[in-house]
Structure 1
Amino acid sequence: MITRRLLALAATSVLAALLAGASQGGGGTPGAPTAGDPYFPQSGDGGYHVVHYGLTLGYTPGTRNLTGTAQLTSTAAQDLSSFDLDLSGLTVSSVLVDGRPAAVRRDGVKLQITPAQTLPDGATFHTTVVYAGVPENVTDPDGSADGWIAQPDGSVFVAGEPQGAMTWFPTNGHPIDKSTYDISVTVPNGWTAVANGRLRFQCSIGGRTTFAWRESQPMAAYLATASIGRFQVSQYWTAGGLPVYTAVDPAEAAAAAPVLAQLPDVISWETTLFGRYPFDAAGAIVAHAPKIGYALETQTRPVYASAPDIDTLVHETAHQWYGDSVSLNRWKDIWLNEGFATYTEWLWDAQHGGPSTKQRFARDYALPATNELWSFPAGDPGSAAHLFATPPYERGAMVLQKLRETVGDPIFFLILRTWADDHRYGHGDTAQFVQLSAKLSGQNLDAMFATWLYGQGKPAQP
């Protein structure tokens, strides 16, 4: 994300053991109503893993009414007597678990579901939630809008980081739980609904058109989108055989065109640095939402509130490796997403006529100790309100520049590629990245990371 910016069953089992305790008897125990992240203590459930979401949606721009049926295929990580889904605002009319009605209770944004019988540890189960209403975005701790954001013209900007997925579908809403997705959206003719992955089909009947999308690689819920508009659509294949689908609001088309034309080159260039592109589709969604003021790396198809510049395109594309394919265990480690994507901007500019990465570092270091850059460490934002402030981005990039200077270019770029490859479609945390860097470099890097990643204030020496 810019300007404000595994799940394997084993990982879920660890959460369940920590947060819910071991299975107790034939009656089972409730799943922990949280993934245990202190920044967002209400997000997620520790007792199960959602393998796949099937979302069937209908939207009417004139009334802003959304209808939805969510079909979740999940795996229990304990003997599960009940479990939670995150859902904000929308009205639920029915819930089935394995085809049988389940008891449901609302507690704020938690949808507490008790199936007719206990779900055994390791069992696959199917949950169907039917819901409807007028979605409302949530306000994040930093004051920004997040989730399903309707625009005055009826279009919808859908960007869910960090907690907005629950505004439009019921979800196990923490990045620790990654799933595959089928997203089908029906809208009036003349409107286009764009989601993640590949477009499976598009068909019109009775004055409405359905767009069916499939994301076949695991995805954190906040990276899902179903943005809607009267878009100008372009579809093509890159020279490497990657299908690209872009959807652009006509008001942004002229400004966006020269930048989006560079997307194949950006993907190819980043592939030379980070290894093969992680997904089977690419593209962009460019809305005309001037009051939003940010972009998000929605998986395979970043969404931009307005026409992006080239640095923003480079940034969000880099997230396909760092943030989307390799996701966070905890929000505290956001620098692993934003510092990496920001440093990719530095690399692009250095190779395309701009300042070198060393010059970018020096320019940042020259900022006074009172500057926001030094307000908190990149590796420890301290609260959810600081996730998208300057330090995880710029200080995060500075950490990578110091790592590069310490270990040398060959090892540095090997670290980046190995990190993306070893954790592909999974998760990683800062401790693992530090360990990998030390292993591949053969150096003790503790002092460097202590100073530049975790040091308070402006370091004494550049």
Structure 2
Amino acid sequence: MMQQPFRQQPRSVRLRRTALAAVLAVGSVGAMSGTAQAAPENDGPHYTAGAPGSGDEYFPYAGNGGYDVLHYSLALRYSPPADPAVLQGHLSGVATITLRATQDLQSLNFDLRGLGVTSVRVDGKDVEHSTANGSDAGWSQVQDDANRIWELAIGLQPKLRAGHKSTIVIEYEGTTGRPLDPTGALYGWVTTADGAMVVNEPDGAPTWYPVNDDPEDKATYTFRITVPEGKTAVANGLPAGRPTTKAGWTTWTWRASDQMASYLSTATVGDFVLSEEDGARGLPIINAIDAGVTGAALHETKAALALQPKMINFLEGLFGRYPFEAFGAIVDDDSVDYALETQTRPVYSGVADETTVVHELAHQWFGDAVSPSDWQDIWLNEGWATYVEWLWAEHQGTATMPGQFTDAVAYLDANNRWALNIADPGRDNLFTGQVYVRGAAALYALRAKIGDAAFLAGARSWLSRYRDSTATTEDFQAVMEKASGQQLDAFFDDWLRQGDRPAMP
């Protein structure tokens, strides 16, 4: 996600679902190669409910336990607002989820908010709706005290053995609006006058499909998005064939074959004009610019997007080959000041400027290919993306690295911004300026301490070792210690955690 330089813009304080903890006792799915495996009767005590949360300290009930999603196939049908003054649409979907059990399961959960389930099938068998939360058979939707839907719980009959695959088909629908986190920031399926801007970080994916919303559970995706004729739907990955139109509705199909965390998925809808060019080695770069982006904003956007091939070449020279099958941009005309590194196709609101584009491109390596194990490690995303902004500005001759570091230190000196521990900033501060700027400054200081060769070798080793996976601050420190041959406890403590200004390099 892009943060305006040296401007504090806190975002995303997610509601704690502690009120649900006692209720969310159910959830699961089941089978091997599409057929559930009945367990011997004496195996019963080994079967348990999958955990109703991932255990992340900031979002303990985002994500679920007991299974690993392999693939999401999402068939969506969306009606944008009939009246642009009333920003409500209607979304219906069929989610076909292929997963593998990681424990012996009697039930499991999916995250789903604000949408009503109409049917569930497990390995081709209909599952009955149950009004009793926690039933070993049947499905139910668990709600909080404000009657907002948070979880879909599914009992499994027959139960599912660890290591076996299962396919679950969930049909659902509901009215879409403009979801807000407690700070008032938009996220998830954000209804716009001409469609929807879909941006999930950190836990907005459940506003539009049932999901294991944990960055550690990456999966591949297929999107089939049906919208009124004339509208364009853009998602991650590559288009699968040409759009088809029937009876006034057009279906757009996209396939994302790279492993992807759910917070990076998108299915944005609008009045987009698509264009494509090739990057290095024929890499498809697909851009979608909303027809409502005009004038100076359009001029700046086109100029910035024209630099994408050059930016990719520059970053490949530093960090290794671009990690995915495609790149590009979605530039919406919504008035929200927003940019997010949705995998292979970042979303920008209003305009895509050069600094923001290189920031979101950097995230394809730092945040998308290697994602944070827990949200407290977000500085590994935003610190690196900000540091890459500095590298690109120096490469373009518009600023120097020492000059930008000096500006960052001045920002952090003001109002004692060193006080925030960016290795554990708290939910309220996930996207505050210190996470970005102190993170980038720490990387600058680390490079000065261990030298260019060790720093770049460590960065490449980090990306290679944890690609398509997740990692922590401690993992990053260990990689840099191995690359440099230095013990870095004191350095990481001073530059990330301590509240005092560290010694300058």
Q: Is TM more than 0.5 here?
A: yes
> What is the identity, as a one-letter code, of the residue corresponding to 2:365?
W
Deviation digits for residues 429-454 of structure 1 (CA, Å, limit 9, x no counterpart): 11111011011101111111110011
CA distance in 1, matches of 2:398, 2:408: 15
Gaps of 5+ in 1: 6-18
Q: Verify: 1:104 aligned to 2:142, yes or no.
A: no
CA distance in 2, matches of 1:398, 1:144: 27
- The equivalent residue for 2:450 is 407
User: Relative to structure 1, is the Cα distance of residues 85 and 368 closer, same or farther in structure 2, using a 3 angstrom cutoff?
Assistant: closer
> What is the identity, as a one-letter code, of the residue corresponding to 1:32?
A
- The equivalent residue for 1:150 is 191
Q: Verify: 1:217 aligned to 2:261, yes or no.
A: no
Gaps of 5+ in 2: 4-8, 12-24, 27-38, 83-88, 128-137, 144-149
Matched residue SS, 1:117:
strand
Deviation digits for residues 311-364 of structure 1 (CA, Å, limit 9, x no counterpart): 100000000011111111100000110000000001001111122222211222
> What is the identity, as a one-letter code, of the residue corresponding to 1:162?
P
Among 250, 267, 271, the residue aligned to 1:230: 271
CA distance in 2, matches of 1:455, 1:122: 43
Deviation digits for residues 129-178 of structure 1 (CA, Å, limit 9, x no counterpart): 00011124433354311100011x23211000001100000000111110
Given that residues 141 and 384 in structure 1 are in contact (C-alpha distance below 8 angstroms), is that contact kept between their aligned partners in structure 2?
A: no
Matched residue SS, 1:355:
coil
User: Relative to structure 1, is the Cα distance of residues 208 and 47 closer, same or farther in structure 2, using a 3 angstrom cutoff?
Assistant: same
Deviation at 1:56, TM superposition (A): 0.3
- Please list, as runs of the form range in 1=range in 2, the aligned pairs for 1:270-349 lying within 5 A after superposition: 270-290=315-335, 292-349=336-393
Moved more, 164-173 or 244-253: 244-253
Q: Verify: 1:198 aligned to 2:238, yes or no.
A: yes
CA distance in 2, matches of 1:277, 1:115: 41
CA distance in 2, matches of 1:278, 1:169: 26
CA distance in 1, matches of 2:360, 2:216: 21
Matched residue SS, 1:185:
strand
Deviation at 1:384, TM superposition (A): 1.2
Given that residues 375 and 391 in structure 1 are in contact (C-alpha distance below 8 angstroms), is that contact kept between their aligned partners in structure 2?
A: no
Given that residues 316 and 322 in structure 2 are in contact (C-alpha distance below 8 angstroms), is that contact kept between their aligned partners in structure 1?
A: yes
- Please list, as runs of the form range in 1=range in 2, the aligned pairs for 1:50-449 lying within 5 A after superposition: 50-63=69-82, 64-102=89-127, 103-108=138-143, 109-151=150-192, 153-201=193-241, 202-252=243-293, 253-290=298-335, 292-367=336-411, 369-371=413-415, 373-381=417-425, 383-449=426-492
User: Relative to structure 1, is the Cα distance of residues 62 and 363 closer, same or farther in structure 2, using a 3 angstrom cutoff?
Assistant: closer
Given that residues 79 and 227 in structure 2 are in contact (C-alpha distance below 8 angstroms), is that contact kept between their aligned partners in structure 1?
A: yes
Given that residues 328 and 428 in structure 1 are in contact (C-alpha distance below 8 angstroms), is that contact kept between their aligned partners in structure 2?
A: yes
> What is the identity, as a one-letter code, of the residue corresponding to 2:423?
G
Deviation at 1:239, TM superposition (A): 4.1
- The equivalent residue for 2:19 is none
Given that residues 66 and 108 in structure 2 are in contact (C-alpha distance below 8 angstroms), is that contact kept between their aligned partners in structure 1?
A: yes
Among 11, 29, 39, the residue aligned to 2:48: 29
Matched residue SS, 1:138:
coil
Moved more, 364-373 or 406-415: 364-373
User: Relative to structure 1, is the Cα distance of residues 244 and 50 closer, same or farther in structure 2, using a 3 angstrom cutoff?
Assistant: same
Matched residue SS, 2:325:
coil
- The equivalent residue for 1:9 is none
CA distance in 2, matches of 1:265, 1:369: 35
Given that residues 321 and 420 in structure 1 are in contact (C-alpha distance below 8 angstroms), is that contact kept between their aligned partners in structure 2?
A: yes
> What is the identity, as a one-letter code, of the residue corresponding to 1:450?
D
CA distance in 1, matches of 2:348, 2:232: 16
Given that residues 97 and 127 in structure 1 are in contact (C-alpha distance below 8 angstroms), is that contact kept between their aligned partners in structure 2?
A: yes
Given that residues 445 and 504 in structure 2 are in contact (C-alpha distance below 8 angstroms), is that contact kept between their aligned partners in structure 1?
A: no
Moved more, 74-83 or 234-243: 234-243
Given that residues 2 and 316 in structure 1 are in contact (C-alpha distance below 8 angstroms), is that contact kept between their aligned partners in structure 2?
A: yes
> What is the identity, as a one-letter code, of the residue corresponding to 1:378?
I
Moved more, 296-305 or 116-125: 116-125
> What is the identity, as a one-letter code, of the residue corresponding to 2:395?
Q
Q: TM-score, normalised by structure 2?
A: 0.85
Matched residue SS, 2:170:
strand
Deviation at 1:422, TM superposition (A): 1.2
Deviation digits for residues 18-49 of structure 1 (CA, Å, limit 9, x no counterpart): x99xx994251000100000101110111111
Moved more, 390-399 or 96-105: 96-105
Deviation at 1:370, TM superposition (A): 4.6
CA distance in 1, matches of 2:175, 2:299: 32
CA distance in 1, matches of 2:159, 2:196: 39
CA distance in 2, matches of 1:460, 1:411: 21
Cα-Cα RMSD: 1.8
Query: Percent sequence identity over matched residues?
Result: 43
User: Relative to structure 1, is the Cα distance of residues 62 and 289 closer, same or farther in structure 2, using a 3 angstrom cutoff?
Assistant: closer
Moved more, 60-69 or 294-303: 60-69
Deviation at 1:457, TM superposition (A): 4.0
Matched residue SS, 2:467:
coil
- The equivalent residue for 2:2 is 2
Given that residues 148 and 164 in structure 1 are in contact (C-alpha distance below 8 angstroms), is that contact kept between their aligned partners in structure 2?
A: yes
Moved more, 358-367 or 280-289: 358-367
Deviation at 1:236, TM superposition (A): 2.1
Matched residue SS, 1:71:
strand
Given that residues 147 and 166 in structure 1 are in contact (C-alpha distance below 8 angstroms), is that contact kept between their aligned partners in structure 2?
A: yes
Given that residues 194 and 271 in structure 2 are in contact (C-alpha distance below 8 angstroms), is that contact kept between their aligned partners in structure 1?
A: no
Matched residue SS, 1:458:
coil
Given that residues 26 and 79 in structure 1 are in contact (C-alpha distance below 8 angstroms), is that contact kept between their aligned partners in structure 2?
A: no
> What is the identity, as a one-letter code, of the residue corresponding to 2:337?
G
Matched residue SS, 2:464:
helix
Q: Aligned residue pairs: how many? A: 444
